[in-house]
């Protein structure tokens, strides 16, 4: 097996695509990993904003920040279920805005989702690397390398196909969901029965300030609450992934996608609401070296028969941070597939790999996310401000697009659906403004620049494909040159030395043209003269043209010669340049050959009436051995050319 076969496994047949699609059971962990991981630490993001300013008084504000986020989550779940009903082909916000708002808004939505998915991957694997280096400080200098290893493993898992990636990544997500559920249920029971010890902090903790608001903070509190709201909105990332990849589910795809979306919403509501309730009840303060979830798990499971659950929660929290990236590896390639079909990204993104996954989209995520990790040195704090802006822009455009859709269709029950989407559009628009305002100077300005750049690229790609398509359009078949003889092609055989590969080139040239020229670009007159004498002594029945160059470069003189020949072509004539490519049994031998062949082919591709023919010459690494007493027959190259030509003609 080759390396690709070892890494990716046995190729799948096209008719096996249905076996690679997601079921409800495996669709939840694959599509929910990003959203579930976000709700796990969204509460801590809220506290990190409030506690340094308000201290213990923050816990009076946290419910007023949490409730709008939960309400927005429920609205988004209902809204995206309507998107799945109306747009079963997938594409989510992009297809909604394309049909209801037009081309440019749809490109804004698409570019925003691309940014969001890429940032999801970069932030997730960097967070996992940070969790590892926190547990093992000696590995801190290798944080970037650890993040890249995590990224490579997730990429490899997804390249092996949807079914294998769901089997590989699904179970850790389920274990995390159930362990968080156990922690919340046990914690609430112990709170109701007063059987849980409260959390205690040292007296010098800077967050232990007055619990009462001062009148001087009344004006600041509104801005502060909005800032906390924007940080807590990380809990909403990943909700859109199901609608983007509806067609990735097994039949009936719409029903299965909606069921997974509802299950995702229920899990997010339960975990986010439960964790926030425990945070407020226990008055958990954010610490530098210990996460809020870790503190809750320690006090919930401490001094009980379930003490081992603390370690399960911690271990699978680290797992879910890595697997959060997996949602993007399913959502973004599906979106790129739709964009490629519309001609806004290279068409290679519409093709499936040997495992029937959108492998080009998966590799694209790996490259771009890897570059971001290297650029930001896997620093989560520096990447977080770039995280939620893209998804909130797509939320807003999708909600407003659905409003326009209901106004246009006016189907049964459209009024209450319009009200849901209208309220959702208002809330997500406010959220978008708040997120941009609070995070602009922290790095969000980069996203504001990146989105128009991605849009410009998409517009360029679309114009290019439209231009080429117009050039290739054929209304009626009619030959270009009806009366041209078959031998109107001129052949040029490139010569370096006289050997068996040259014999093969000349044999082939004789079969397609009666006008064959052997061309040698030599760097010294001595080499050219030696080749000419050898050519004449062997009586090769093909004219030899030697072009001398005073430089080491042979590409430019070759190109000039071809241009000169091309300019003298008659109407309907072509030139075929024949180049030998050496092939060996050993893959590593390819590094020793054919380097110049690539550059020659690239240069000649610029000519309109010149074709390049790559002729393979297979050789074996082992040299044939002759018996010392065997008499060898001398045969001229002329004889071989004539003999092989007769065989081919026959």
Higher pLDDT, 629 or 342: 342
Tell me the C-alpha distance between 478 and 480, whole Å: 6
Count of CB atoms situated within 10 Å of the CB of 563:
12
Residues 493 and 545: their CA atoms lie apart, in Å, by: 10
> What average pLDDT does range 367-377 have in this prediction?
92
**Half-sphere exposure of residue 62: CA atoms within 13 angstroms, side-chain side:** 29
Q: Once rounded to an integer, what is the mean pLDDT over residues 449-459?
A: 93
The overall pTM is greater than 0.95: no
Confidence of residue 205 (pLDDT cuts 50, 70, 90): low
User: What is the average pLDDT value for the chain, to the nearest integer?
Assistant: 81
Instruction: Report CA 331 to chain centroid distance, whole Å.
Output: 9
Name the percent of the chain lying above pLDDT 90: 18
How many alpha carbons lie under 13 Å from residue 577 in its C-beta half-sphere?
A: 26
- Residue 200 pLDDT more than 50? yes
Higher pLDDT, 441 or 450: 450
Q: According to the model, what pLDDT value does residue 633 have?
A: 44
Residue 114 banded pLDDT, cuts 50, 70, 90:
very high
Residues composing the chain: 650
Decide if 89 contacts 247 (C-beta within 8 A): yes
Question: Confidence class of residue 589 from pLDDT cuts 50, 70 and 90?
Answer: low
Percent of the chain with pLDDT over 70: 83
Q: pLDDT band at residue 623, thresholds of 50, 70 and 90?
A: very low
631 pLDDT above the threshold of 50: no
> 58-86 and 24-54 are packed helices; what angle lies between their axes, rounded to 10 degrees?
150
Which of 98-102, 245-249, 566-570 shows the lowest mean pLDDT across its residues? 245-249
List the single range of 141-155, 477-491, 561-575, 618-632 with lowest mean pLDDT. Answer: 618-632
Label residue 25 by pLDDT band (50, 70, 90). confident
d(CA 541, CA 398): 72
List the structure tokens of 224. 């502060």
| Beta-strand runs (E) in 468-573 | 489-494, 515-522, 544-548
Instruction: Look at residue 401 in the predicted model and tell me its pLDDT.
Output: 92
The closest of 290, 16, 342, 22 to 134, measured between CA atoms, is: 290
The strand pair at 544-548 and 515-522 is best described as parallel
Give all strands of the β-sheet with 489-494 in edge-to-edge order: 544-548, 515-522, 489-494, 574-583, 610-618
The β-bridge relationship of strands 489-494 and 515-522 is parallel
pLDDT band at residue 645 using 50, 70 and 90 as cut-offs: low
Check pLDDT > 80 for residue 646. no
* pLDDT for 451: 92
pLDDT the model gives residue 206: 54
């Amino acid at each position: 097996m080759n390396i690709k076969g070892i890494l990716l496994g046995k190729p799948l047949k096209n008719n096996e695509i249905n076996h690679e699609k997601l079921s409800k059971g495996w669709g939840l962990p694959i599509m929910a990993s990003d959203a579930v991981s976000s709700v796990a630490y969204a509460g801590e993001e809220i506290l990190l904003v409030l506690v340094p300013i308000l201290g213990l008084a923050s816990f009076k504000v946290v419910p007023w920040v949490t409730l709008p986020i939960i309400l927005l989550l429920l609205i988004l779940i209902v809204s995206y279920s309507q998107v799945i009903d109306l747009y079963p082909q997938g594409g989510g916000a992009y297809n909604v805005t394309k049909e209801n708002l037009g081309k440019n808004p749809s490109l804004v939505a698409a570019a925003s989702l691309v940014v969001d998915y890429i940032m999801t991957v970069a932030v997730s694997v960097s967070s996992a690397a940070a969790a590892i280096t926190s547990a093992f400080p000696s590995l801190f200098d290798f944080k970037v390398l650890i993040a890249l290893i995590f990224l490579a493993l997730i990429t490899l898992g997804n390249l092996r196909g949807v079914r294998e990636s769901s089997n590989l990544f699904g179970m850790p997500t389920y274990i995390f969901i159930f362990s968080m559920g156990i922690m919340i249920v046990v914690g609430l029971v112990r709170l109701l029965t007063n059987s849980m010890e409260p959390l205690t902090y040292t007296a010098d903790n800077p967050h232990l300030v007055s619990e009462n608001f001062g009148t001087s903070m009344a004006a600041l509190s509104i801005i502060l609450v909005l800032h906390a709201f924007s940080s807590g909105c990380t809990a909403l990332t990943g909700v859109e992934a199901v609608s983007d990849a509806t067609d990735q589910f097994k039949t009936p795809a719409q029903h299965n996608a909606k069921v997974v979306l509802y299950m995702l919403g229920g899990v997010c509501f339960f975990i986010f609401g439960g964790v926030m309730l425990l945070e407020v009840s226990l008055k958990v303060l954010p610490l530098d070296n210990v996460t809020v979830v870790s503190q809750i798990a320690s006090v919930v499971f401490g001094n009980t028969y379930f003490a081992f659950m603390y370690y399960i929660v911690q271990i699978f929290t680290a797992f879910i941070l890595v697997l959060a990236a997996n949602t993007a590896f399913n959502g973004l390639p599906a979106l790129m597939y739709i964009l490629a079909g519309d001609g806004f990204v290279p068409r290679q993104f519409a093709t499936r790999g040997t495992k029937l996954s959108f492998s080009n989209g998966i590799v694209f995520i790996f490259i771009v996310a890897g570059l971001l990790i290297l650029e930001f040195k896997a620093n989560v704090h520096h990447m977080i401000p770039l995280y939620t802006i893209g998804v909130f822009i797509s939320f807003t455009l999708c909600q407003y697009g659905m409003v326009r859709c209901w106004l246009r269709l006016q189907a049964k029950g459209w009024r209450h659906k319009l009200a849901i989407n209208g309220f959702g559009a208002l809330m997500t628009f406010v959220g978008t403004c708040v997120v941009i305002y609070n995070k602009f100077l922290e790095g969000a300005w980069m996203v504001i620049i990146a989105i128009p750049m991605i849009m410009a690229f998409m517009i360029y790609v679309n114009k290019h494909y439209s231009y080429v398509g117009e050039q290739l359009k054929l209304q009626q078949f009619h030959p270009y040159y009806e009366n041209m003889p078959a031998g109107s092609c001129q052949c040029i055989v490139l010569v370096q030395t006289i050997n068996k590969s040259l014999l093969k080139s000349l044999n082939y040239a004789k079969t397609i043209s009666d006008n064959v020229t052997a061309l040698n670009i030599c760097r010294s007159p001595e080499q050219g003269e030696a080749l000419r004498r050898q050519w004449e002594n062997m009586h090769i029945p093909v004219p030899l043209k030697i072009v001398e160059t005073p430089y080491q470069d042979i590409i430019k003189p070759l190109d000039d010669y071809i241009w000169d020949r091309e300019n003298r072509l008659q109407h309907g004539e072509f030139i075929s340049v024949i180049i030998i490519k050496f092939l060996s049994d050993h893959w590593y031998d390819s590094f020793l050959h054919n380097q110049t062949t690539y550059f020659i082919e690239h240069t000649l591709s610029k000519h309109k009436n010149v074709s390049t023919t790559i002729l393979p010459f297979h050789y074996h690494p082992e040299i044939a051995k002759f018996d010392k007493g065997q008499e060898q027959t001398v045969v001229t190259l002329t004889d071989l050319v004539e003999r092989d030509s007769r065989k081919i003609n026959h």
